[in-house]
A and B are shown apart, each in its own frame.
Chain A
Amino acid sequence: GPQSVNTIAVLGFKRRCRELFKQEKMVPVLVVWLALCLSGTWAVDRSNFKTCDQSSFCKRQRALKPGESPYRALLETMELTNTRLTLQLINDNNKVRLLLELYRLQGNMTRVKINELKPLKPRYEVPDVLVREPPTEPIKCHCLDENGVVLSLGVESQRVIVSAQPFRLDIVEGHNVLMSLNSRGLLAFEHLRMRKDTQAEPEAENKEETTKEEEEKVEEGMWEETFKSHSDSKPNGPSAVSLDFSLPGVEHVYGIPEHADTLRLKTTDNGDPYRLYNLDVFQYELYNPMALYGAVPVMLAHNTQRTTGIFWLNAAETWVDISSNTAGKTVFGKMLDYVQGSSETPQTDVRWISESGIIDVFIMLGPTPKDIFSQYASLTGTQSFPPLSSLGYHQCRWNYNDQEDVRSVDAGFDEHDIPYDFIWLDIEHTDGKRYFTWDPHKFASPKDMLQGLKDKKRNMVAIVDPHIKVDSNYKIHNEIRSRGFYVKNKDGGDYEGWCWPGNAGYPDFTQPDMRAWWASMFSYDQYEGSMDNLYTWNDMNEPSVFNGPEVTMHKDAVHGSWEHRDVHNLYGLYVHRATMEGLIQRSGGVERPFVLTRAFFAGSQRYGAVWTGDNAAEWDHLKISIPMCLSLGLVGISFCGADVGGFFKSPSPELLVRWYQTGAYQPFFRAHAHLDTPRREPWLFGPENTALIREVIRQRYTFLPYWYQLFYHAYRTGEPVMRALWVEYPQDPATFAVDDEFLIGRDLLVHPVTEEGARGVTAFLPGKEEVWFDIHTFQKHNGAQNLYIPVTMSSIPVFQRGGSIIPRKLRVRRSSACMEHDPYTLFVALNTRRTAEGELYIDDGHTFNFDNKEFIHRRLFFSNNVLSSVNVAPEAQFTTKSWIERVVILGASKPRKVTLITADGHKSQLDFDFDASVSVLTIRKPSMNAGEDWSMALQ
């Protein structure tokens, strides 16, 4: 998608900046603009973004070193109801009191909230992220003495030990400490205070408390700070919060996306902490902790015994430090410790620092990875169930020039017999970057264009960004302004910043009535030229402000009664949400929406898809797409993809082909390219490359039933679609850091080729008990081994797990909708016990009717040489025209005969082929309807 500041330079300085010169009254901004225009280089300009040292609260907080906490629990203030414990904490240095709230939540979670007991004014508590007020479970007080309290949690043998002085919390199970809070004494809470230079009117009743103010040291950056040319007026002064967590026995932590880094998080002792602050980072660099477009403040910790999670519900700028007592040790050193018995328990310590708000943390206690997914899903919801078509292939480019261009690209797919479902329009389709409009010359009759696509059962996505051109002839702007829906600047006027349209306002999406109005703009009568096969893309919603600090909004901008500082990381989620609601409403709540977003937060999974932003056509960017999407999957966001081919720069044909081969096996499969790059539709690189790309896109389409079923599961359970290996093999440490391969669901293992000129890859096949079948050759391999696989340009190492049944549709057509009624082929891969199991999920593919039980959900299983299909949702009703055309059994032996028994008891003999060289049995045309009961006996 279009991105930041320096892009202007990439666009061609002349073209863009000249346009700006032409516009009137832009002198003040021009200076900034020019500076930006002139600073284009290929790598990220790090100086545009803050380090911890340049962010005053991070610097202040990080300066605190582990030691004895100044906080003491005032046990006499303890109040325990059935479900809630409250307790005051006092900071012995400044006498400021905090209020601790502790809840036991259903599903093995503990919530810890800490706020000021009497803040000068309310502190921000993040709304709209939790799907509901989390249901609680009773807490019992076990024993209480002057040193602390022991609470039992729920029915399990878990306890929370609250130590009074210094204050700390330990969550224990049996004799094991699972997690400790403030064990390193880094709890910090910058209480709100009066500005020194203002005449405070001390409240009479608070005499004692006002005196303490004198002890507070005023440090630089507390009341105002500047970054580059931007100043932050900080009217509320310092307000940071911080807390440390110790994880005994843990050496692997994951999550806290979005970072362009490895799956396993690194320790941050020798550099900056991981940063969570939604930013439009131009040409981001890989393998570092810099903030990117989205932020999900959720970390998972894992060892062979248990998985736990920390959800830090705070939407302000946040930094996360990670340290480990084993990080510096070599494998040999660890072994030595072990042999000598001198090893201290490995431990990972993390510390969260946020600029404002309160401490509101959900401790998810697993114990399995799947428990964590379900716990987190119970808090923030699950992946929205996307329309089936959105799991197909998406063809995007900045920009398809006009309707004729769209028509000819669409025709190109037919000409080369390559399926696709969506063609995308970037910002140039609008009338002067006024969203919800069409360029009157290039897209003069959008409905004709959309109808043309619809005639081929295809769809379109058009971009709608949240920056609104300030132009009194623009309806959207006028309405937002007159309704007072814009974000305000610190002085109370409408906040204005620079983005694609030039001067732009930013609607305040944190306001429910603003969101409702925005959603109504997507109705067919408001959004002229739109039709039901037009969907939406929200870009630049960090928000991106070209002339703002760090290319985003000023922190002292105002959203109702809150500062932008408080809500920053939520802004993109709200934009995404309002847009999604618009797409639902326009169909009267019937049709499922599809909205792609670049910025996101915890809970964004409920609204649609995300992508990894403006990557580059480089091999390392192809590689990083795997850990980036895996990390998102771990925190609930399954519908993830990277721009296939790379957004910036131009890929070699080899890189492009390899990227298609990788992207076809990732959840969101979209090719995209920068305006300045040469065209790269799949057929532009010679017949051989066209054939390679066609083949892999077609493979994607054959697996659509499996993808769809996995998304249904993600919607039901929160389990990621694209999965890190350790999620399925949590007791095998060899899987813990693997991020050059991944699982789709449980049953497909993918090791993409991501090296230039590769002759082979070494894939790790997990599971001592497992066997894996190459999906192309049907060759069988044992699990728990590193397998060297020679590769050619056509190779995509993908394996189906023995013990699984995957339904596929091998009749690939020009779009997913064209394949709706086509028959299934069942791929049954037998494990060493000669059993297999799978599912078949079918619905209409595009409405919410599945919520009214209009679907088919069947369990397929093979044991004792019988393959059966049974209904696992007998209460559900749906009929399909699809039938079973073929059953392929991998790892089979040759039967004498194959008998089909249908629901009515009718028996018939089936034809089959047996390929002894790979032990593959292909059963010909059993022909039963996919929604029926049946079984098939091999004799």
Chain B
Amino acid sequence: MFWYLLLLWGGISAVEVQRPRGVPLSKRPFYEENKPFTCLDGSRTIPFDRINDDYCDCQDGSDEPGTAACPNGNFHCTNAGFRPTFIPSSHVNDGICDCCDATDEYNSGAECQNTCRELWRKEKESMQKLAEIAKEGFLLKQQLIQEAKRGLEEKQTKLGEVQNSKKDLETNVEALRTAKEAAEQPEKEAKERHLKELLGGVDKVNTAAFETIWSKIREKYVSEVRTQTPSSNTDGPAPVETPQEEVREPVSDNDSEPYPDDDIPEEEDEDEDEDEDEDMDDGDYKVTGFDYILECLPIFTKSLFSSAAQKARNEFEEAERALREVDDQIRNLEKEISFDFGPSSEFAYLYSQCYELTTGEYVYRLCPFNRVSQKPKYGGSETNLGTWGKWAGPEGNVYSVMKYEQGTGCWQGPNRSTTVKLTCGKETVVTSTSEPSRCEYLMEFTSPAVCQEAPDLEVSDIHEEL
């Protein structure tokens, strides 16, 4: 009862190794037949016949490796043909088959089949599949690394070029500024004259008078100015917002909908509202009526102004815009160059890409290093499930998990966030999404960039023997 036989296929010859039930081969020397047994923690020594006698004598459970008597014991499944493992003693003879070799249920009446060979076959199959994928993926990964390397070089070259061109542009801007100021001198005088006629002189202006006038004409100017002032989120040649800035300023994100403490306007999710919010947040409009008039005067008194000055101004503004664009370009390039795209920049190819997965209810969208979002399949506005946060894999495998944080807030809850788990695959695809906990999303994402060199199947820990 206390012993069992193990058949070992050591090549051709079969060997029998006797040891108490539930003891791994490595611990066999501690269980010497017919000699007093000392608990493995050294706490006491008991007669040999108390090993596996279904009563717990050792505090560490070492006297009952093959029964359920000790609360903290472990049972060793040899699992010949598969992988040996330990199960808690509480699983021994509980009527549930745990060891694939069925050795844990020797006295419970449970009818367990030996499934080790079958498991091994299945595991081998799936590992082979994985290995194939890994192999192909790893090749793809090498290409990605090469591409990333080339891309990086290109970007560095480009950066150098742009930095050079920036110097020229700066010079140009300064020159045009001087020209513009010169051309504007006559016009400035005309403007002052006009103001005096209209309002009785700049010196005597009182704010109240301006406010009165302002309130009457505000509507007109607001609409005019709006149509003419480039807004940061329209389709115009707006500067590209960099993902990192988005992270730092999540509040300015289009989709952030901070809920007030108690009152929620019923139409709060309407798109127009959001756009309006966006506009109202824009600093350009935080001006008093007085400033406004001064600023807007040139527009409606256009006729007063000389076309020469206007031309100089246009040229100057054009140059300035060019300079700004270059600045943006530099910033973006520098950012991309310094971004952590993995040890060999193998994830660089994901930058500025987006991947979608459609489920029963929603379309999920992952834009790596930027953001994750969710949009109802049958209409409705998009919800931000988080913007790029960091690589968040476990130590030693940091690049296996991406974390996107600070998405749209949940009512009375946290901001939405998404964990993206990366696994090796030939394709770059979002394979599944779920919401394991409210507002905490989980996305599975395959990419060749995470593939490791294919493991050698023959050296895997599957054990055919013991």
A binds B: yes
Interface residues of A (CB under 8 A from B): 9-14, 17-18, 34, 37-38, 40-41, 401-402, 405, 417, 441, 455-457, 675-679, 698, 810-814, 817-819, 821-822, 885-886, 924-925
**Stretch from B131-139, B156-164, B227-235, B431-439 forming part of the interface with A:** B431-439
| A698→B234 CA distance, assembly (Å) | 61
Q: Are B411 and A813 in contact (CB under 8 A)?
A: no
Specify the chain B residue showing the minimal Cβ separation from A885.
B55
- A822 CB contacts on chain B under 8 angstroms: 68
| A817→B96 CA distance, assembly (Å) | 11
Specify the chain A residue showing the minimal Cβ separation from B90.
A813
Q: Are A13 and B436 in contact (CB under 8 A)?
A: no
Q: Are B436 and A401 in contact (CB under 8 A)?
A: yes
Q: Are B411 and A818 in contact (CB under 8 A)?
A: no
List residues 332-391 of chain B with CB under 8 A from any CB of chain A.
360, 380
| A566→B40 CA distance, assembly (Å) | 70
- A885 CB contacts on chain B under 8 angstroms: 54-55, 69
| A745→B53 CA distance, assembly (Å) | 34
List residues 375-413 of chain B with CB under 8 A from any CB of chain A.
380, 410-413
List residues 92-109 of chain B with CB under 8 A from any CB of chain A.
94-96, 108
Q: Are B94 and A818 in contact (CB under 8 A)?
A: yes
Q: Which of A41, A455, A676, A886 interacts with B413 by CB under 8 Å?
A: A676
- B264 CB contacts on chain A under 8 angstroms: 13, 37-38
- B69 CB contacts on chain A under 8 angstroms: 811, 885
Q: Which of A401, A813, A925 interacts with B434 by CB under 8 Å?
A: A401
Contacts known (A13-B264, A401-B435); A814 close to B440, Cβ less than 8 A: no
- B437 CB contacts on chain A under 8 angstroms: 677-679
Asked whether any CB of chain A lies closer than 8 Å to the CB of B263, the reply is: yes
Q: Which of B54, B90, B413 interacts with A12 by CB under 8 Å?
A: B413
Leading 7 A-B pairs by shortest Cβ distance: A818-B94, A679-B437, A12-B411, A925-B55, A813-B90, A676-B438, A678-B437
| A924→B436 CA distance, assembly (Å) | 48
Specify the chain A residue showing the minimal Cβ separation from B413.
A676
Interface bits B319-333 vs A (CB < 8 Å: 1, else 0): 000000000000000
| A457→B97 CA distance, assembly (Å) | 12
- B54 CB contacts on chain A under 8 angstroms: 885, 925
Count of residues in B whose CB is under 8 Å from the partner chain: 33
Specify the chain B residue showing the minimal Cβ separation from A648.
B412
The 20 sampled A-B contact pairs (Cβ below 8 Å) are: A11-B411, A17-B266, A34-B266, A37-B264, A40-B262, A401-B434, A401-B436, A441-B360, A678-B414, A678-B440, A698-B71, A811-B68, A813-B90, A817-B95, A818-B96, A885-B55, A886-B55, A924-B55, A925-B54, A925-B55
- A38 CB contacts on chain B under 8 angstroms: 262-264, 266
- A814 CB contacts on chain B under 8 angstroms: 90-91, 94, 96
Q: Are A813 and B68 in contact (CB under 8 A)?
A: yes
Interface bits B419-442 vs A (CB < 8 Å: 1, else 0): 000000000000000111111100
Q: A401-B436, A676-B412 are in contact. List 13 more A-B contacts (CB 8 A).
A: A12-B413, A13-B259, A38-B262, A40-B412, A41-B262, A417-B88, A676-B413, A677-B438, A679-B436, A812-B90, A814-B94, A821-B108, A885-B69
Interface bits B59-96 vs A (CB < 8 Å: 1, else 0): 00000000011010000000000000000101100111
- A40 CB contacts on chain B under 8 angstroms: 262, 412
Contacts known (A405-B436, A675-B438, A813-B91); A9 close to B411, Cβ less than 8 A: yes
Specify the chain A residue showing the minimal Cβ separation from B269.
A14
Specify the chain B residue showing the minimal Cβ separation from A674.
B438
Q: Are B410 and A813 in contact (CB under 8 A)?
A: no
| A810→B259 CA distance, assembly (Å) | 52
- A441 CB contacts on chain B under 8 angstroms: 360
Interface bits B189-205 vs A (CB < 8 Å: 1, else 0): 00000000000000000
- A455 CB contacts on chain B under 8 angstroms: 96
Interface residues of B (CB under 8 A from A): 53-55, 68-69, 71, 88, 90-91, 94-96, 108, 259, 262-264, 266, 269, 360, 380, 410-414, 434-440
Q: Are B435 and A10 in contact (CB under 8 A)?
A: no
Contacts known (A677-B438, A679-B436, A924-B55); A813 close to B412, Cβ less than 8 A: no
Q: Are B438 and A417 in contact (CB under 8 A)?
A: no
| A691→B55 CA distance, assembly (Å) | 24
Q: Which of A41, A457, A819 interacts with B96 by CB under 8 Å?
A: A457
Specify the chain B residue showing the minimal Cβ separation from A16.
B411
Specify the chain A residue showing the minimal Cβ separation from B359.
A441
| A12→B257 CA distance, assembly (Å) | 12
- B434 CB contacts on chain A under 8 angstroms: 401-402, 405
- B259 CB contacts on chain A under 8 angstroms: 13
The majority secondary structure among interface residues of chain A is: loop
| A817→B435 CA distance, assembly (Å) | 33
Q: Are A13 and B411 in contact (CB under 8 A)?
A: yes
Specify the chain B residue showing the minimal Cβ separation from A458.
B96
Specify the chain A residue showing the minimal Cβ separation from B96.
A456
The distance from the CB of A818 to the nearest CB of chain B, in whole angstroms, is 4
- B360 CB contacts on chain A under 8 angstroms: 441
- B88 CB contacts on chain A under 8 angstroms: 417
| A676→B94 CA distance, assembly (Å) | 37
- B68 CB contacts on chain A under 8 angstroms: 811, 813, 822
| A811→B266 CA distance, assembly (Å) | 57
Q: Are A12 and B410 in contact (CB under 8 A)?
A: yes
- A818 CB contacts on chain B under 8 angstroms: 90, 94-96
Q: Are A10 and B90 in contact (CB under 8 A)?
A: no
| A925→B108 CA distance, assembly (Å) | 20
| A467→B95 CA distance, assembly (Å) | 40
The distance from the CB of A213 to the nearest CB of chain B, in whole angstroms, is 50
The distance from the CB of A845 to the nearest CB of chain B, in whole angstroms, is 14
- B435 CB contacts on chain A under 8 angstroms: 401
- B412 CB contacts on chain A under 8 angstroms: 9-10, 40, 676
| A810→B69 CA distance, assembly (Å) | 9
Q: Which of A14, A810, A812, A821 interacts with B411 by CB under 8 Å?
A: A14
Most chain B beta carbons < 10 A, residue from A12, A441, A811, A925: A811
| A17→B266 CA distance, assembly (Å) | 9
The distance from the CB of A571 to the nearest CB of chain B, in whole angstroms, is 31
Q: Are A417 and B90 in contact (CB under 8 A)?
A: yes
The distance from the CB of B111 to the nearest CB of chain A, in whole angstroms, is 12
Q: Are A811 and B90 in contact (CB under 8 A)?
A: yes
| A812→B410 CA distance, assembly (Å) | 41
Specify the chain B residue showing the minimal Cβ separation from A402.
B434
Specify the chain B residue showing the minimal Cβ separation from A883.
B54
| A818→B436 CA distance, assembly (Å) | 29
| A405→B436 CA distance, assembly (Å) | 8
| A763→B225 CA distance, assembly (Å) | 75
The distance from the CB of A194 to the nearest CB of chain B, in whole angstroms, is 47
The distance from the CB of B406 to the nearest CB of chain A, in whole angstroms, is 16
- A810 CB contacts on chain B under 8 angstroms: 71
- B95 CB contacts on chain A under 8 angstroms: 457, 817-818
Specify the chain A residue showing the minimal Cβ separation from B259.
A13
Specify the chain B residue showing the minimal Cβ separation from A439.
B360
Specify the chain A residue showing the minimal Cβ separation from B436.
A679
The distance from the CB of B325 to the nearest CB of chain A, in whole angstroms, is 39
| A698→B88 CA distance, assembly (Å) | 14
| A17→B90 CA distance, assembly (Å) | 48
| A41→B54 CA distance, assembly (Å) | 57
| A11→B439 CA distance, assembly (Å) | 11
| A10→B411 CA distance, assembly (Å) | 7
The distance from the CB of A462 to the nearest CB of chain B, in whole angstroms, is 20
| A886→B70 CA distance, assembly (Å) | 13
Specify the chain A residue showing the minimal Cβ separation from B410.
A12
Specify the chain B residue showing the minimal Cβ separation from A924.
B55
- A676 CB contacts on chain B under 8 angstroms: 410-413, 438-439
Specify the chain A residue showing the minimal Cβ separation from B361.
A441
Q: Are A811 and B413 in contact (CB under 8 A)?
A: no
Most chain A beta carbons < 10 A, residue from B96, B266, B410, B436: B96
The distance from the CB of B22 to the nearest CB of chain A, in whole angstroms, is 15
- A37 CB contacts on chain B under 8 angstroms: 264
| A675→B435 CA distance, assembly (Å) | 11
| A37→B88 CA distance, assembly (Å) | 50
Q: Are B96 and A678 in contact (CB under 8 A)?
A: no
